[in-house]
């Protein structure tokens, strides 16, 4: 699925109609969840029937397009199914019991309820909410795809306005020219001191966008809190203060996203293979002392964009287990334990003193290439759509099972990497 996003320009009455549609979606979703809680042994078809009953009972639900109501039902069933799956698999900790939605920000249409005018770059919503015709603001041309390829249309409300997303049935590889082999491979080690350090010795400084904006965010939050009235209808000044606070947070999140996108694209364009650690960031942020810094570093976003661009440009991305990548010696393999304050790697095998992040990137590259070079194949790249799993997760295997069968580009790349390790 390929997503195009445009900002919407319209009248205030149209945006109020969008807000009403979003509230209706939230109402339908919560009603479906309540129906599931009050009934036993019901399935997805029963919830769909309940949505039909809601459309007959409430006129404002009937005004919303039927496919948007179905999508609200699908959101509920997805949460329920995930809860059932976690219970069945005995996932440790909380099982993710479905919760009532309080801050829904989007409404999604399928094949009906909207009409796109590609000549004037406008979109018209034709359901009973009277949203009407809206102008699309964006640089992407609407003529490079067929209209039948649009599977769904989603309206998203953010702090700085309203956006529409066109979800296309399109493979990114079909519209992107494949790159020539570079005969290079690289591994990256993400951290808090550096955004990442690669196996070539190059580092990217961590910008710490949230840390730099924290003082301003706290000031805006205090302004918002002073205007809050508990148990009363909030004033217009409070709403303005809340919007300013939300816009600042949105700016920080977009800065992190753009940095991850830029660096991931450069890595993919410059190398045939990119290796990184398969980190469980959700577990790492449980550390109360490091949670804020880890979230500000945006490791998950970097991995997401590396995998996306790897699929788009036909590059190989490999996720390796993170065990002992920091403590193992990249030359002799001896395990040298280090504390977080120790920023260098020293081993008695004679290897020069290395930065701990650089040594870790060499270990990541070693895990990704030794015994797994032959995984470059059409079977890996022939994926239905980006989003399921575009990276290869390497596993520890016995030495007798390791085979090397790779294209010449990867033989050259792996030899260059081995030469670097022996220096």
Query: Using CA atoms, how far apart are residues 74 and 256, in angstroms rounded to an integer?
Result: 31
Where is 161: in which H helix or E strand?
strand 161-168
Burial 74-92 (b: 16+ CB within 10 A, else e): bbbbebbeebeebeeeeee
> Which run of H or E residues covers position 275?
strand 273-277
- Measured CA to CA in angstroms, residue 72 lies from 7, 21, 79, 288 at distances of 23, 11, 11, 35
How far, rounded to the nearest angstrom, does the alpha carbon of residue 246 sit from its chain's CA centroid? 20
Nearest-angstrom CA–CA distance, 189 and 360: 6
pLDDT (0 to 100) of residue 388? 39
What secondary structure letter does DSSP report for 178?
P
C-alpha distance from residue 401 to each of 28, 160, 404 (Å): 54, 55, 10
Domain boundaries, the chain: 2-170, 185-208+256-422
Neighbouring-strand partners of residue 161: 158
How far apart, in whole angstroms, are the C-alpha atoms of residue 32 and residue 50? 7
Q: What residue ranges in 25-160 does DSSP mark as E strands? A: 106-109, 114-117, 122-125, 132-137, 150-158
Length of the chain: 423
Please list the ranges in the chain whose pLDDT falls under 70.
Answer: 371-423
Residue 47 pLDDT? 92
pLDDT value of position 219? 96
As a whole number of angstroms, the distance between CA 336 and CA 328 comes to 6
Q: What is the pLDDT of residue 371?
A: 52
């Amino acid at each position: 699925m390929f997503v195009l996003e445009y900002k919407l320009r319209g009248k205030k009455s149209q945006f109020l109609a969008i807000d009403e549609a979003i509230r209706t979606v939230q109402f339908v979703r919560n009603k479906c969840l309540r129906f599931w809680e009050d009934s036993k042994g019901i399935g997805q078809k029963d919830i769909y029937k309940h949505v039909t009953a809601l459309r007959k009972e409430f006129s404002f639900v009937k005004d919303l397009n039927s496919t948007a109501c179905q999508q609200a039902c699908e959101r509920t069933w997805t949460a329920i199914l995930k809860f059932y799956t976690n219970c069945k698999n005995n996932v440790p900790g909380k099982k993710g019991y479905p919760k009532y939605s309080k801050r829904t920000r989007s409404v999604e249409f399928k094949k009906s309820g909207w009409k796109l005018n590609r000549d004037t770059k406008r979109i018209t919503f034709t359901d009973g909410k009277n949203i009407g015709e809206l102008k699309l603001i964006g640089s992407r041309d609407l003529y490079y795809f067929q209209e039948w390829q649009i599977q769904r249309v989603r309206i998203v409300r953010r702090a700085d306005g309203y956006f529409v997303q066109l979800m296309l049935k399109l493979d990114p590889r079909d519209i992107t020219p494949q790159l020539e082999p570079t005969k290079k491979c690289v591994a990256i080690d993400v951290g808090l001191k550096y955004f990442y350090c690669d196996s070539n010795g190059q580092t990217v400084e961590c910008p710490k966008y949230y840390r730099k904006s924290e003082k301003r965010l706290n000031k805006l939050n205090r302004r918002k809190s002073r205007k809050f009235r508990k148990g009363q209808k909030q004033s217009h000044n409070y709403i303005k203060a809340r919007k300013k606070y939300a816009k600042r947070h949105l700016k920080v999140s977009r800065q992190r996203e753009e940095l991850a996108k830029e660096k991931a694209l450069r890595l993919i364009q410059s190398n045939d293979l990119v290796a990184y650690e398969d980190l469980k960031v959700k577990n790492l942020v449980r550390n109360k002392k490091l949670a804020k810094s880890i979230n500000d570093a945006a490791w998950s976003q970097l991995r997401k964009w590396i995998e996306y661009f790897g699929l788009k440009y036909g590059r190989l991305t490999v996720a390796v287990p993170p065990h002992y990548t920091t403590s193992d010696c990249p030359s002799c393999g001896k395990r040298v334990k280090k504390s977080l304050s120790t920023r260098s790697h020293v081993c008695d095998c004679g290897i020069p003193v290395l930065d701990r992040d650089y040594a870790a990137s060499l270990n990541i590259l070693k895990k990704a290439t030794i015994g797994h070079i032959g995984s470059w194949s059409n079977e890996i790249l022939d994926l239905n759509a980006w989003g399921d799993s575009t990276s290869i997760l390497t596993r520890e295997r016995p030495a007798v099972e390791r085979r090397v069968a790779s294209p010449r580009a990867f033989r050259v790349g792996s030899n260059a990497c081995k030469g670097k390790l022996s220096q």
